[in-house]
Chains A and B, each alone.
Chain A
Amino acid sequence: AQTVTQSQPEMSVQEAETVTLSCTYDTSESDYYLFWYKQPPSRQMILVIRQEAYKQQNATENRFSVNFQKAAKSFSLKISDSQLGDAAMYFCAYRRFGNEKLTFGTGTRLTIIP
């Protein structure tokens, strides 16, 4: 079974600084997708960024980018120019190609310090 590990239960960063959230996963598959979801205090789950395993280029969405290391099974999220609105729980998730089920990590709570 696939597992997703987020080893940082909590992180904090100064406003306008850069922070990196870690995620590792375990799979024997070669084709899969990885996701980062944001859950603000409203509890709504919001997709931040996604990465296809067959793509070598790291995904980027505005201030959010990933460092995808397939061989190391690592998928970290970098948030640049952190803003107060970035404060949330962040979940890393995995989905095998051809399977719609998501496997989530346990989450990292990010605090932004003004």
Chain B
Amino acid sequence: DAGITQSPRYKITETGRQVTLMCHQTWSHSYMFWYRQDLGHGLRLIYYSAAADITDKGEVPDGYVVSRSKTENFPLTLESATRSQTSVYFCASSPIPEGGNNEQFFGPGTRLTVL
């Protein structure tokens, strides 16, 4: 199906383990984003990517790693999970803006719990 998907939808892990959250979009959008949602903070940008092999930090990048070898995939890795990384993670994508106004399309989110 066309759209943006995330996997897994739910994940429980332990402190210190490596975790990878997957994001896949079928629109061939150039831009992809990772946000985390926490109560009292709204959504905060972790990393984003303007194209394959181009990534940049957002507001809260510490403890996370991203890669983008293919346009359609943008995995987010927690190299050594901490309890403070318990959150809901959203992936989003958007096309190259035409006329300036550009909508981001969001995936369904992954709820990650770090014990």
A residues whose Cβ falls under 8 Å from a Cβ of B:
4, 6, 31, 33, 42-45, 47, 50, 52, 91, 95, 97-98, 100-107
Contacts and interface: CB of A to CB of B under 8 A. Distances in A.
Interface of B: 31, 33, 35, 40-45, 48, 50, 58, 88, 90, 92, 94, 97, 100-104, 106, 108-109
Contact of A97 (B35, B40, B100, B104): B100
18 contacts: A6-B42, A33-B102, A42-B108, A43-B108, A44-B108, A44-B109, A45-B90, A45-B106, A50-B103, A52-B100, A91-B43, A100-B31, A100-B94, A101-B58, A102-B104, A104-B43, A106-B42, A107-B42
A50 B43 contact: no
A100 B102 contact: yes
B45 A106 contact: no
B15 to A, nearest CB: 25
Q: Is the interface of A mostly helix, strand, loop or mixed?
A: loop
A31 B100 CA distance: 10
A101 B103 contact: no
Contact of B45 (A42, A47, A52, A101): A101
A47 B97 contact: no
B34 to A, nearest CB: 11
Contacts of A100: 31, 33, 48, 50, 94, 97, 102, 104
Contacts of B92: 45
A33 B94 CA distance: 15
Contacts of A97: 100
Contacts of B101: 33, 50, 52
